[in-house]
Structure 1
Amino acid sequence: MSVRALVMLDDHILVQRLNHPDSVRWFPGGELEFGEPMEAGLLREIAEESTLAVTAITYRFVFDNRFERDGASFHFLEHYFEVTPAGWE
Structure 2
Amino acid sequence: MVLCVSELATNALVHGVPPGRGFLVRLLPCGDGVRVEVHDSGDGVPAVPQTDVREPGEGGRGLLLVSELADKWGVGERAPGKIVWCEVGIT
TM bucket, shorter chain = under 0.3
Higher helix proportion: 2
- TM-score of the superposition, structure 1-length normalised? 0.26
- TM-score of the superposition, structure 2-length normalised? 0.25
Higher strand proportion: 1
